[in-house]
Amino acid sequence: MTNNNEIVATTANFKAEVLESTIPVLVDFYADWCNPCRMIAPIVAEIAAEYVGKLKVARLNIDDNQEIASRYGVMSIPTIALFVGGNLVDQVVGFVPKRTLTARIDGFVGRS
């Protein structure tokens, strides 16, 4: 990953890294073969760099972690989900501009 605020989420670490996080977590549900996922990845990386200490960013490959994707109803990718206090509080499906994501994040960061 590009910085220490980005983690690779898996079925094995999802509970510890996302659900038990003391700060909000943005989860990027993606797949390597997904073109829109590749387009949004640099935006997600920028957000990770800009929100250090306020927001954790996790990338979860749905092909390798189908159980987690299914648990949260991820039917289309990319799906960007925001977890606060272990709860899914917001999500955006498909490629969106950075300002759309930051506006949604800013509504929750600091509330946890």
Domain ranges of the chain: 6-106
Across 1-112, the runs of DSSP E, i.e. the strands, are 6-9, 25-30, 56-61, 79-84, 87-93
Set 34, 57, 69, 101: catalytic member: 34
In the residue annotation, 50 being an active-site residue is answered as no
- Report which of 81, 86, 90, 106 is spatially closest to residue 28, judged by C-alpha positions: 81
Q: How many Cα atoms sit within 13 Å of 107 on the Cβ side?
A: 10
Superfamily of domain 6-106: Glutaredoxin (3.40.30.10)
pLDDT in tens, 3-48: 568 999 999 999 999 999 999 999 999 999 999 999 999 999 999 9
Q: 2: pLDDT confidence band, cut at 50, 70 and 90?
A: very low
Set 9, 26, 27, 37: catalytic member: 37
Strands 6-9 and 25-30: unpaired
pLDDT for the residue 5: 81
pLDDT in tens, 64-83: 999 999 999 999 999 999 99
Alpha carbon dihedral 103, 5, 8, 95, in 10-degree steps, equals: 20
In the residue annotation, 37 being an active-site residue is answered as yes
pLDDT for the residue 110: 59
